[in-house]
Amino acid sequence: MAGRASVELYTLVFFADRTAVTDARVVKVKETSIVVFVPKYGIEGIVWLAAKGDTSSFTLDLAKQTVAAVDGSASYAMFDTVRVSFSPSMVGTVLVNTWNEPQHT
């Protein structure tokens, strides 16, 4: 427990004065969000794709493990690489802003 807390504190101090933009991997898809892991920093967080409670903008396909915009503008699947931006207030809880389409590698 103390080890995890010290890692979170160190991470918060490291990002105290900066916002990071880096690659992340999708590790879970949900109806209105994706959970991503940022290997460069060892951080995992949620990227909200729609406002909480708004289930009409995205469609979740559990069989394919994908979530896609109803209008076809974006689609995310397990292990896709996405660009994320995050700041100190979000570390450990929420990651925001995905850019580009997923990079299938």
Q: How far apart are CA 34 and CA 76, in angstroms?
A: 8
Q: Which of 43, 40, 39, 26 is closest to 98 using CA atoms? A: 26
pLDDT for 64: 95
pTM of the entire structure? 0.73
Which pLDDT tens digit goes with each residue over 35-76? 999 888 888 888 888 777 777 788 999 999 999 989 888 899
Position with higher pLDDT, 12 vs 100: 12
* Domains of the chain, CATH where assigned: 2-103 (2.40.50.140)
Identity of residue 92: G
